[in-house]
Amino acid sequence: SLGLGENNIGNRGVQSLASALAQQNSTLQELYLVKNRAINDSSVDTLVQMLRRNQTINRLWMDDCRLTSKGKE
């Protein structure tokens, strides 16, 4: 697992992280991005694409980020 909660990660950081995990991860199963209030709906598509390419991550935690109800769908 990789715990990155409360690290002031924003949408740009999510893009970088997702890019790396989509191409180079073969072991990470859980990703915790909780309480990163700079993450909003614009990161959702990036994370969805990463999860489609990454076959090992099976849990993504994003509690207390700035996602709207639409972004949470």
- Give the pLDDT band (50/70/90) at residue 68: very high
pLDDT tens per residue across span 10-40: 999 999 999 999 988 889 999 999 999 999 9
- CA-nearest of 26, 22, 15, 21 to 56 is 26
Please tell me the distance from the alpha carbon of residue 14 to that of residue 33, in angstroms, as a whole number. Answer: 9
Residues ≥6 apart with Cβ < 8 Å to 29: 1, 56, 57, 58, 59
Mean pLDDT of the chain: 94
Q: Alpha helix (H) ranges present in 25-68?
A: 44-53
**pTM for the structure as a whole:** 0.89
Please state the separation of Cα 52 from the chain's center in Å: 12
